[in-house]
Amino acid sequence: MAREYRVGQDPRRTAQVLGDRVGGRQVDKIVVKVHATAPFTAGKMAPKTPLECKFSLPFCIAMGLRGYRGVASDFNDDILKDQAVQAIVPTVELRPIADQPNHECYLDVWLADGEHLQAETKVVLGHPANPMSEADLRAKFTGLVRPVFGADRCDELYETLAGFDKPGALKRVMDLTAGA
């Protein structure tokens, strides 16, 4: 008989909730209940480039189960080639549910040792009903901007944008982003 571990609603990515429980163990099967359009918009089953990985729910789920955060900087060639992630991707079955809202996700993971894990997200992070926190916004901004502008300019740009209503902010943003 399979052991079950159930996680209730979590505002973070559903697979990441189970990442610590899965660890490095072998995954036998994953069933993901998603909105009916998800397989068309993010159903790439065998992504070949970091960009394709962003549009692959199976790859994103595998990343989460292996402990990656799924931020912009995680979509790179090294993680694309990570065998621990690649081993999970083909075990993922996307099961579209016609009347399921597009902001919900239900995940069932069966491990080789017989353990059955479940997690669900009722409202994804970033949805108006579950907005990102200031820390989440800053982390996302930093992950996207720091590689382009460097740490100091990134931090100054964030602070300037946070106080955009102050006199001179637009000019300072233009100065900081010139020549990018």
pLDDT 10s digits, 75-108: 999 999 999 999 999 999 999 999 998 888 899 9
Range of the domain at 145: 134-177
pLDDT interval class at 149 (50, 70, 90): very high
Indicate which CATH number applies to the domain containing 115. 3.30.1330.120
State whether 73 and 162 are in the same domain: no
Residue 128 belongs to some domain of the structure: no
**Which alpha helices (H) appear in the chain, and where do they start and end?**
14-22, 38-42, 50-54, 57-65, 77-80, 83-86, 134-149, 151-162, 169-177
pTM of the predicted protein model: 0.79
